[in-house]
Amino acid sequence: MNILFTCAGRRRYLLKYFKEIIGGSGKIVATDMQLSAPALTVADVKVQVPQVYAEDYIPAILQICKKQLIDILIPLNDLELPILAERKSDFEAIGVKVIVSEPRVIDICFDKYKTAQFIESLGLKTPETYVDYNEAIAAIKAGRLNFPLILKPRWGSGSIGLEFVDDFDELEIVYKLNRKKVMKSILATASVDDNFILIQEVIKGPEYGLDIVNDLDGKYRGVSVKQKLAMRSGETDKAITVDNADIREIGATIGKALGHIGNLDCDVLERDGEYYVLELNPRFGGGYPFSQEAGVNIPKAIVAWVKGEDVDDSIFFPYYDAMFSKCDILLNVGQLQNKT
């Protein structure tokens, strides 16, 4: 069983989790734009590839799959998900199982405005969200939307371009600035509608991260709920697993309705005892290791499913009150490490 991780970046722990599962029976292959990406230090084979929007990106990944006899491809970057979802059949034609959802699902998750509409269609709550500037202004004046607000790229990734505004003046100027910023960034390619800035109500209260697991047929199997205690660079930095049946129920509702494949990283905010679903990322998120360290094992499930085996649903639920923090270690990523 050979596994390829694309855009491996800093997800060293995830490669290690999969390596533990396949043991000596296969190899871990990892790609990144930079051979010095720290996750590559634990790969058996590391390959430098073009940027995800480059014309030769998919051909390069296909070639690696053929050469390395890849069985499973696990993409880790938001921007490549739509591309891989569209090209999934090209990979399946050469025997590669791509752990990516269908384009309909990717579209709902990547477009944060569609995410909000999808969540509401399930009868769940989401923060008040606008993409039309004038509609947002009208909503504020009518009392349906209240400051503080958060502005963010509608097609975003990580914490790029998040800005809080406290009044009409700030809203006007930050909205203009944010438009310019996104147009100058890598997110410009993904911003396919002129209303590409989201204007959203800020919910102040506890934040939760969910790992909602569906199997390879898109059937819901389980959920892990973690309360986020600290963030860093848009990723969960410290978290504790919690036993909250209401939030698990929200996770189950989303997993069943969305029909994604594999792991869905989901953010939930709490205010006055009500839960607001904020974001859906149909991939392993930066908060996943907090589930794995608390006993969850999605890598084990994915490998079993691709082999045609099954696992007990208990491995998708963590033990509770496990508090973990990320912390830096230093890795040698220099020339000695680049020999493959």
Contacts with a copy of itself, residue ranges (CB under 8 A): 10, 12-13, 36-39, 41, 166, 170, 173-174, 177, 180, 229, 232-233, 238, 240, 289-290, 293, 321-335
Checking 91-94 for CB contacts under 8 A at 24+ apart, the result is 91/62, 91/65, 94/62, 94/65, 94/66
Residue 42 CB, shortest distance to a copy of itself, in Å, is 9
**Beta carbons within 8 Å of 137's beta carbon, 6+ residues apart:** 168, 171
Q: Token digits for 236?
A: 């969960």
| Pairing, β 274-281 against β 262-271 | antiparallel
Give the residue among 57, 66, 64, 63 at the shortest CA–CA distance from 43.
64
Nearer to a copy of itself, 271 or 326 (CB): 326
Nearer to a copy of itself, 290 or 305 (CB): 290
Residue 15 CB, shortest distance to a copy of itself, in Å, is 11
Give the residue among 118, 48, 60 at the shortest CA–CA distance from 84.
60
Residue 10 CB, shortest distance to a copy of itself, in Å, is 6
205-230 CB burial, b ≥16 within 10 A, e <16: eebbbbbbbbbeebebbbbbbbbbbe
Nearer to a copy of itself, 1 or 331 (CB): 331
Residue 291 CB, shortest distance to a copy of itself, in Å, is 11
Residue 334 CB, shortest distance to a copy of itself, in Å, is 3
Give the residue among 1, 185, 21, 31 at the shortest CA–CA distance from 11.
31
Residue 8 CB, shortest distance to a copy of itself, in Å, is 11
| Pairing, β 220-232 against β 3-6 | unpaired
Q: What is the amino acid identity at position 50?
A: P
Residue 133 CB, shortest distance to a copy of itself, in Å, is 16
Nearer to a copy of itself, 211 or 215 (CB): 211
Q: Token digits for 184?
A: 């100058």
Phi-psi region of 90 (alpha: psi -120 to 50; beta: other; left: phi over 0): alpha
Nearer to a copy of itself, 242 or 252 (CB): 242
Nearer to a copy of itself, 123 or 334 (CB): 334
Whether residue 213 contacts residue 301, with contact meaning beta carbons closer than 8 Å, is answered with yes
Nearer to a copy of itself, 32 or 71 (CB): 32
